[in-house]
Structure 1
Amino acid sequence: MGHLGFSKEEVYKALAARLHKNPVGAPFSETLMKILKTLYTEQEAEIGSKFPAGFVTLEKLSAATGINPNELKGYLENMANKGLVIDVVRNNETYYMLTPTVVGFFEYTFMRVDPNLPLKDLAELFEAYHHEPGVPEEFFGSPTKMFRALPYEEAINDEVKTEIVSYERATEIVKAAGGGALTLCYCRHQQEHLGNTCKVGAPVEDICISLGGAADWLIRRGFARPATVDELLEVLKKSKDLGLVHSVDNVQNKPAYICNCCGCCCGVLRAINEHQVMSIEPSSFILNIEEEKCVGCGSCVKRCQVHALSLVEREPGNPKSKKAVLNKELCLGCGVCVSSCKKEALTLTKRDYIPNVPLNKKEQMYRIAMEKVRL
């Protein structure tokens, strides 16, 4: 397989350039180059650099790469096993797509324990890359978000409970999917390799939920295990007990995943906490504090995963006058804080605007690409 006179460095630079053409791209840096050289062989990098946009047939990709279909199929099989290519079957024909960075091979790499990969080295590289200038904004800063907060249904004020739509009900999403898959939490798994543990004690195993075709692919490629509806509902319950944010694929129809996120490990929430990038679409609800009931205990402040709550002295110099105060710009409307309040001073109520939730994945990616002028 020739490289048309390109050096090895040029092949990987071409792959980086191709990845950055995606709606959610990959800003170039030496750290990114190290990541790509660790995950892709040189041949795989060349194939990746020539991938057309979206899903394509083997024949079309063969024409783009100049590689015989039978030989190319072998490369694609290996790449799919590593999470670098996504393959789906439609009408008895297989289609292939180059896996993006996020949501993509950054997650798949740490969805399982792979003895063939230097996971500690990759964890350090991924961590460094997430903190490089422009990367959090590229991954999470578009007006149309990839992730959306789901409200804890029991936290919603009784007066507006009937207004919650089906795509905001975590339990209904799981039931409608008829089951799915469970994987390692790739964020907490990555942090383990950096010597960090979750501050709220959230687990690494069997905590991230995948649904529909995404679940089928993850199971087939060895990144996840099958899970029943009851198992997934139990995961949601366990996540609520731990105070984790339900972060769902930001689409109305057939979301691909529900992550259960902590502010110390989760890349999405860390973008808010560490980079002030509003990375997740809030739910259509927002926290309401009944100040006369609040005793200023601070339980809700400790519970919030994005530091949207603080205690303020209503009478300066009088610690007993402390009350919980909400930063509305940060509130995700997730309801994590509500159950921590023993005085029942907290509930979720409707926001005064409608969240930006695309109809499906195609519309979501189209909007993000338009916002970045990549069409």
Structure 2
Amino acid sequence: GILAKSIIDQEIGEEVTLDKLMEIMEKAEKQGLVHESFNMQDTAMFVCNCCSCCCGFLRSVKDMHNYDSITKSNFEPEFIYEKCNLCEVCMEICPMEAIYHHWPHKKDLSDNMMLVRRDRCIGCGICASNCPSDAISLVKTRDVIPIKDQKELMAKRSKAKTH
């Protein structure tokens, strides 16, 4: 995108192949970083790999519980409970603290499970890509079409009262 070209021109970044890019993205995902961009129909200006402790935007979404200010993906995690060993890796790595361990109340322990707070989940997939037992899959739950351009994006963010 435009920003990538500028970074390459300033010699603070380099052009990479698609294979190398995918390798970098996968490594970032394994470290718990969220792939973020201004996702627009016109163009994707950049892709960041962010954590919710250092990225000002993700941190403000999480800390101020302003989950509607971020464009969620069209996917949400779904647990395959037969595979889940309750290791809590998903809970620990979730950047929005959207996953929690529901401790059992029933004698048969059938309600001892990991659950997702749907209102907090942004559909980033970090939980699924880091689950050691492959007990989480991403399921398409909506068909949101990206906004048209940067002007529409800024209007949406302004309406949500974020900067």
Question: Shorter-chain-normalised TM-score: which range?
Answer: 0.7 to 0.9
For the residues of structure 1 that align with 2:127 and 2:48, how far apart are their CA atoms? 18
User: Hey, what does 2:99 align to over in structure 1?
Assistant: 309
The alignment partner of 2:90 has SS state of helix
User: Hey, what does 1:234 align to over in structure 2?
Assistant: 23
CA contact 2:33–2:49 (8 Å) conserved in 1: yes
User: Hey, what does 1:348 align to over in structure 2?
Assistant: 138
Q: Does 1:286 align with 2:76?
A: yes
CA contact 2:86–2:114 (8 Å) conserved in 1: yes
Q: Does 1:259 align with 2:51?
A: no
- Of structures 1 and 2, the one scoring higher in RCO (CA 8 A, sep 6+) is 2
* 1:76-101, Cα deviation, whole Å (9 max, x unpaired): xxxxxxxxxxxxxxxxxxxxxxxxxx
* 1:38-76, Cα deviation, whole Å (9 max, x unpaired): xxxxxxxxxxxxxxxxxxxxxxxxxxxxxxxxxxxxxxx
Over 3 Å counting, the alpha-carbon distance change for 1:355 and 1:224 in structure 2 is farther
Shift of 1:370: 8.1
Shift of 1:305: 1.0
Shift of 1:215: 2.2
Counterpart of 1:281, as a letter, is: T
Over 3 Å counting, the alpha-carbon distance change for 1:312 and 1:226 in structure 2 is same
Structure with greater proportional helix content: 1
Shift of 1:301: 0.5
CA contact 2:29–2:129 (8 Å) conserved in 1: no
Shift of 1:241: 2.2
CA contact 2:8–2:15 (8 Å) conserved in 1: no
Over 3 Å counting, the alpha-carbon distance change for 1:242 and 1:370 in structure 2 is closer
User: Hey, what does 1:359 align to over in structure 2?
Assistant: 148
Shift of 1:318: 8.7
Q: TM-score normalized by structure 2?
A: 0.80
Over 3 Å counting, the alpha-carbon distance change for 1:341 and 1:235 in structure 2 is closer
CA contact 2:81–2:113 (8 Å) conserved in 1: yes
User: Hey, what does 1:277 align to over in structure 2?
Assistant: 66
Q: TM-score normalized by structure 1?
A: 0.38
CA contact 2:91–2:97 (8 Å) conserved in 1: yes
Could you tell me which runs of 5 or more consecutive residues in structure 2 were left unpaired when the two chains were aligned: none
The alignment partner of 1:225 has SS state of coil
The alignment partner of 2:78 has SS state of strand
Counterpart of 2:24, as a letter, is: V
For the residues of structure 1 that align with 2:96 and 2:152, how far apart are their CA atoms? 28
Counterpart of 1:286, as a letter, is: E
The alignment partner of 1:368 has SS state of helix
Over 3 Å counting, the alpha-carbon distance change for 1:326 and 1:368 in structure 2 is closer
CA contact 1:215–1:224 (8 Å) conserved in 2: no
Shift of 1:300: 0.9
| Bigger Rg, structure 1 or 2 | 1
The alignment partner of 1:324 has SS state of strand
* 1:306-348, Cα deviation, whole Å (9 max, x unpaired): 1000001232699896310100111111111113323332100
For the residues of structure 1 that align with 2:49 and 2:157, how far apart are their CA atoms? 27
The alignment partner of 2:95 has SS state of coil
The alignment partner of 2:48 has SS state of strand
Could you tell me which runs of 5 or more consecutive residues in structure 1 were left unpaired when the two chains were aligned: 1-211
CA contact 1:310–1:325 (8 Å) conserved in 2: yes
Q: Does 1:339 align with 2:123?
A: no
For the residues of structure 2 that align with 1:369 and 1:311, how far apart are their CA atoms? 32
Identity %: 29
For the residues of structure 2 that align with 1:315 and 1:284, how far apart are their CA atoms? 33
Q: How many residues are treated as equivalent by the alignment?
A: 158
RMSD: 2.8
